[in-house]
Amino acid sequence: MGYLLFSQEFFVHIEATALPDVLILTPARFGDSRGFFSESWNKSRLAEQGIDIEFVQDNHSLSAAKGTVRGLHFQTPPHAQDKLVRCGRGALLDVAVDIRHGSPTYGKWVSVELSADNGRQLLVPKGFAHGFVTLTDDTEIIYKCSDYYAPDCDRALMFDDPAVGVEWGIHREKAIMSDKDLAAPALADLDNPFVWVA
Ligand SMILES: Cc1cn([C@H]2C[C@H](O)[C@@H](COP(=O)(O)OP(=O)(O)O[C@H]3O[C@H](C)C(=O)[C@H](O)[C@H]3O)O2)c(=O)[nH]c1=O
């Protein structure tokens, strides 16, 4: 199994996406005959790169079957969450949708394959709905959140809203989903207070 290797002085590779505030972070992996070591998150090193977020809760979920869709979810203020998402086992297509009213990219989306092998992470800021579809059985997602779970602020957006047009590679008839997600409203009908600030 090949690992993306970096030299010691290189700790995290940061890439832009089509949504300016959504970033792909790839922490360095230091390989040897045993495998690899990686600092999957280092507050100070990210702050040096201008990414200074106070994460307070780590989440971890296992989806047993390929084709599981979780999302699109977000929390409204005062408990909106930034998320830093990675895949601990298997692979998934991670999706972020800009739901900030007035944003130049309102309703636009990006998708990135995150896997245990590629070590990529997606930074999903407040004001973006987040979801994923699993690409393998037994996929585990692990992510940091900048605010605590607040059920009263927890919202869902229809994952296959044609007005958004996310290319999931699966239809709801085949996807494994929660009842909450199957019943989620379209973007136009969403209880969504987010407003873009230039
Ligand atoms: C999110 C969350 C859930 N829970 C409890 C509530 C339910 O009893 C159970 C499953 O919750 P839910 O069905 O909302 O889990 P997911 O469908 O994986 O939701 C998550 O999936 C998408 C991809 C996200 O980005 C969100 O973090 C989150 O909404 O865990 C907690 O106790 N704490 C939490 O922070």
CATH number where 61 lies = 2.60.120.10
Nearby residues of 58 by Cβ (< 8 Å), 6 or more positions away: 142, 143, 144, 145
Mutate to test the pocket of ligand 1, among 61, 68, 79, 176 (most ligand atoms within 8 A of CB): 61
Residue nearest atom 17 in ligand 1 by C-alpha distance:
70
- Within a domain: residue 43? no
- Within a domain: residue 113? yes
**Ligand 1 centroid vs 74 CA: distance in angstroms?**
10
pTM of the model: 0.95
- Within a domain: residue 26? no
- Within a domain: residue 66? yes
- Full residue range of the structural domain in which residue 156 is found: 57-189
| Residue 75 φ/ψ, nearest 5 degrees | -110, 140
Closest CA to 70 of 54, 58, 79, 59: 59
Q: What is the pLDDT at residue 191?
A: 86
Q: What is the pLDDT at residue 9?
A: 53
Is 13 designated active site?
no
pLDDT by 10-residue block (mean), the chain, 198 residues:
48 94 96 96 94 97 98 98 98 98 98 98 98 98 98 98 98 97 97 92
Is 60 designated active site?
no
Closest CA to 158 of 134, 127, 190, 133: 190
